[in-house]
Amino acid sequence: MRHYDGQILDICKFAFTAYTAVLGAGLAIYKYGVDKGIDYKGPAIAILSVGLFLGLCMMALATRNRAYYVLVARYINEHRAFFLSSKPLGFENRTRMYSNPDHPPFFNWHSAQTLLMAVLSGLNSFLAATLAFLISTEKRWILWAVFLACWLCQLAIAITYLKCRERKN
C-alpha cells in the first residue's frame, strides 16, 4: 500500500518538474522569437504539445495507480477482517481499524490521491490553454474555455474509469 501511495507522489514530483521545464522552454523560445522578430511559434507549440502528451500520460498513470492502491488496501482489509472476526486474545478492535474489504472506494473526493489527480489535470489544462494562446491570441475567453473544458474532460474520464472499477472483480 505504501508503495502505491508513494508512487503517486513520485509521479507528481516528476510531473511538477516536467511542467516547469516544458513551460519555461516553450515560453522562452516564443519570447526570444518575439524579441528578435523571428517566428518561433512552431517550436514552442511542439514543445508544449509534447509536454501536454506527457502530462496526459502522467494523469493516466496516476489514475491507474489509484486503482492498484485500492485493490491492495481492500485485500489488506479482507485479511484484517478475517483475523479480527475471531477476536484473538480478546482483541476487539476498539479503534475500528479498517476491516471492510469493500473500502476504500476507487473514487473518493476526500482522498489525497484524488486531489493530486485534480492538480495534475489542472496543470495539463494550463498547458492546453497556453497552446491555445500561442495558436490564437485574439480572444482571451477562449483560453478560459479551453482550460475549463480540458480540466473537466480529464477529471470526467478519470472518475468514470475509477467508478467503473467498482463493478469489476
- Res 94: pLDDT: 63
Look up cell 519570447; give the residue: 31
Retrieve residue 152's grid coordinates. Answer: 473537466
Retrieve residue 114's grid coordinates. Answer: 484524488
- Res 168: pLDDT: 77
Q: Which domain holds residue 12?
A: 2-165
- Where does the pLDDT of residue 106 fall: very low under 50, low under 70, confident under 90, or very high at 90 and above? very high
The radius of gyration computed from the CA coordinates of the chain, to the nearest angstrom, equals 21
- Res 137: pLDDT: 65
CA distance 34 to 29: 9
Total domains, the chain: 1
CA 28 to chain CA centroid, nearest Å: 26
| Cβ atoms within 10 Å, residue 46 | 12
- Where does the pLDDT of residue 25 fall: very low under 50, low under 70, confident under 90, or very high at 90 and above? very high
pLDDT of residue 40 exceeding 70 = yes
Instruction: Kindly list the distances between the CA atom of residue 51 and the CA atoms of 3, 58, 119, 122, in Å, as whole numbers in the listed order.
Output: 26, 10, 16, 14
- Res 57: pLDDT: 94
What digits encode the pLDDT tens for the residues 43-72? 999 999 999 999 999 999 999 999 999 999
What digits encode the pLDDT tens for the residues 67-97? 999 999 999 888 888 887 777 676 776 666 6
- pTM attached to this predicted model: 0.84
Average of per-residue pLDDT values in the chain = 88
Q: Quick one: CA torsion of 17, 19, 20, 23, rounded to 10 degrees?
A: 160
